[in-house]
Structure 1
Amino acid sequence: MPSQRAALYRVSASGPADVSGVEALFENGLDPKTVVAVLGKTEGNGCVNDFTRGYATSTFETLFARHGVTGASIVMSGGTEGALSPHWTIFCRDTVEANPERSLAIGVSRTPDMEPEKLGRRGQIELVADGVREAMADAGIGNADDVHFVQIKCPLLTLSRVAETEARGETTVTRDTLKSMGFSRGASALGVAVALGEIDLEEIADKDICNRLDFYSGRASTSAGVELADHEIIVLGMSDSWSGPLAIDHAVMKDAIDTASVRTAQQRLAEGKLVAVLAKAEPDPTGKVRGRRHTMLDDSDISATRHARAFVGGVLAGLFGMTDIYVSGGAEHQGPPGGGPVAIIVERATNP
């Protein structure tokens, strides 16, 4: 009987315009129209003016248009500090003649464009929560417990967006464009938490966003960028209605060196070929990691999120023996303070 089946490819990139590896996949038989999402790590600074994200997005849009791909989510995260490798993770799904079994499921959605005055406020939380539910339905995942990772690309504020908002008599949560990235990531993460039943929406007030750090999702990964005004949402989980060898599980790192939680999640997947690792990272806001002082928050030359990406990227690279890991910085409400979610995807030797 027919079922949905996921496929995943990790492709190296020599720069934000290098999609030759993806083109090679198409030439070697991958049907471009099965592509539903791309997660990319580009080598920009990951801040407001990181145009490598938009450059890469535009390059993929051109590639997809040439091959007739429509509706694919393109999520670019800037920052490959340390030895993290720029790369693309290509998610595909297709209908096959195979009995359904418990396997990786992928769902995508896109919200309407958001008014800048909603950014970092409950309006953004509600918008994202609706989008996550839509992506879950697209994946055929009915139980929130089966969701293991939700990747969101969310907008940020620019001075022109702030000015446009104020001209309409509205206000924005901040006029600081860099701080707006944190507010957008945080509100988006809380939207995931609401959709997955981790937090009740009625418990959250505007003032809690980026302040109540005990409010968080253990499965959200959000990244803000200047290249969009809406939210691109990718839900990854397990579903009994899908088939194939791919499986996913997740851990929530308690701090930046919590490899024990990650190892436990890896063991739950039993033996299997490692396909991808997706993670969030942020500097511990207390200024310490297990009682020892860190200086990430004191460096006025390099953003603390860049330090955190390099640090957590190194920890995970040493654990998994690979550097093309998707590590996104800025983990407001994404895991406990100083920690963050980590998803592991493997290809099982035999299907369950």
Structure 2
Amino acid sequence: MIRRAAVHRVAMRHPGDVAAIEALFDAGVPDPRDVVAILGKTEGNGCVNDFTRAFAVQSLTQMLAVRLGTAPAEVAHRVAMVMSGGTEGGLSPHFLVFSVGRTDAAANPAGALAIATAFTRDFAPEEIGRMAQVEATAEAIRAAASGMAEIHYVQIKCPLLTTERIAEAASRGATVATHDTYASMGLSRGASALGVALALGEVARDALADAAIGSDTALYSGRAGTSAGVELMRNEIILFGMSPDWAGDLVIAHDVMADAIDLPAVQRALRAAGLDAGGGQLPDAEQARLVAVLAKAEPSSDGRIRGARHIMNEDSDINATRHARALVGGVIAAATGRTALFVSGGAEHQGPDGGGPVAVIARRADL
């Protein structure tokens, strides 16, 4: 028997609403024992104090513990959970449930979606946003990537610094990368993304150093999506790729948006996954085959989009990443005809400055 990946997208009424996932389990697809990862877009602010992410993880963990007949701590060891806060604009809160089962069907020689998960050790506060996080992430990815012919996207949930964590490090005489808790989110995302770049050969090891993290925008991965949260101290990693040794009708493809309005990059990713909008929005039949879109959003540091000034970095009322999520979410929604999109803000070292990777999971038309 060989492995086959499945992806289910369900809506949520609030961050703790797991009823739609329970309905899937009640229907027998998927078997909760086969679930390897859950991604969620929650309606919080996506910042340090966004506890919608922790609320969703807690709710999912408790539900899975009951379904699996195990302790909540065991769930954390077997299921990677990546909650991304912020559904600004028209983005719709939703969960993506990823499972891996076994089948008697033949492997797809053209390649099928393959999924692997990995977990780093817990980081000390002084390691967050520094090379220790980069190297531990790269090591975990290399170990998990065995047998995956092509890796198209690596989704990571990473930790951030809080005042309490900073104080704990200071009590031991350790210094942290920053005392700004919000800035720590970007450094953690950036270090995690550079770990992807290092593991996938996109950046050379000798180009990396603590000082480059969060500052050298020329260093980036075109296949990393990282999201920081207060609810963990390790990196939880999900690899999405293609393999001729897996069965199924799901495929994944990716591209890189050069800036926040790079619609052609989104359309290239859709076409690479076998979907054709004919230059416009996906028609109904193509939308039915679209399973998920994963993307990153980041305001350009120079305050410009194709020469025109934007104020995302200067708005004291609304955080810049919230603006970016709404903007990129709107561009992708227009291309796909869908608002349940996993658009995550904060793209440090994830694509070029002001841009970011976009990945598409779809069903083949010929299967």
Question: Which moved further from structure 2: 186-195 or 162-171?
Answer: 162-171
**Secondary structure of 2:203's partner?**
coil
Deviation at 1:200, TM superposition (A): 1.2
CA–CA distance in 2 between the matches of 1:311 and 1:261? 15
Query: C-alpha offsets along residues 10-38 of structure 1, whole Å, 9 cap, x if unaligned?
Result: 00000011111001001111211111100
Runs of 5+ in structure 1 lacking a partner?
A: none
1:135 and 1:233 in contact (8 A); partners too: no
Q: Tell me the amino acid that sits aligned with residue 215 of structure 1.
A: L
Alignment of 1:1-40 (within 5 A): 2-30=1-29, 31-40=31-40
Matched, 1:127 2:131: no
1:157 and 1:181 in contact (8 A); partners too: yes
Of 311, 331, 340 in structure 2, the residue corresponding to residue 295 of structure 1 is: 311
**Secondary structure of 2:313's partner?**
helix
Query: C-alpha offsets along residues 184-223 of structure 1, whole Å, 9 cap, x if unaligned?
Result: 0000000000000001122111111111100000000000
What's the TM-score, normalizing by structure 2? 0.92
Of 83, 97, 102 in structure 2, the residue corresponding to residue 95 of structure 1 is: 102
Question: Which moved further from structure 2: 61-70 or 76-85?
Answer: 61-70
Query: C-alpha offsets along residues 243-274 of structure 1, whole Å, 9 cap, x if unaligned?
Result: 10000000100000111122122212224611
Alignment of 1:170-319 (within 5 A): 170-271=174-275, 273-319=289-335
Question: Which residue number in structure 2 is paired with residue 337 of structure 1?
Answer: 353
CA–CA distance in 2 between the matches of 1:244 and 1:39? 21
Question: Which residue number in structure 2 is paired with residue 44 of structure 1?
Answer: 44
Question: Which moved further from structure 2: 94-103 or 7-16?
Answer: 94-103
**Secondary structure of 1:243's partner?**
coil
**Secondary structure of 1:299's partner?**
coil
CA–CA distance in 1 between the matches of 2:322 and 2:118? 28
Of 157, 160, 163 in structure 1, the residue corresponding to residue 161 of structure 2 is: 157
**Secondary structure of 1:298's partner?**
coil
CA–CA distance in 2 between the matches of 1:269 and 1:327? 18
Q: Tell me the amino acid that sits aligned with residue 348 of structure 1.
A: R
1:103 and 1:245 in contact (8 A); partners too: yes
Question: Which residue number in structure 1 is paired with residue 80 of structure 2?
Answer: 73
Question: Which residue number in structure 1 is paired with residue 125 of structure 2?
Answer: 116
Report the number of matched residues.
345
**Secondary structure of 1:99's partner?**
coil
**Secondary structure of 1:328's partner?**
strand
Q: Tell me the amino acid that sits aligned with residue 80 of structure 1.
A: T
Query: C-alpha offsets along residues 67-91 of structure 1, whole Å, 9 cap, x if unaligned?
Result: 1174111110100001100000000
Question: Which residue number in structure 2 is paired with residue 54 of structure 1?
Answer: 54
Q: Tell me the amino acid that sits aligned with residue 241 of structure 2.
A: G
Deviation at 1:161, TM superposition (A): 0.7
CA–CA distance in 2 between the matches of 1:22 and 1:269? 26
CA–CA distance in 1 between the matches of 2:207 and 2:355? 23
CA–CA distance in 2 between the matches of 1:57 and 1:318? 30
Runs of 5+ in structure 2 lacking a partner?
A: 276-285
CA–CA distance in 2 between the matches of 1:194 and 1:85? 33
1:48 and 1:225 in contact (8 A); partners too: yes
**Secondary structure of 2:292's partner?**
strand
Question: Which residue number in structure 2 is paired with residue 64 of structure 1?
Answer: 64
**Secondary structure of 2:145's partner?**
helix
1:3 and 1:96 in contact (8 A); partners too: yes
Sequence identity percentage: 54
4+ long deviations beyond 3 Å:
none
Deviation at 1:135, TM superposition (A): 2.5
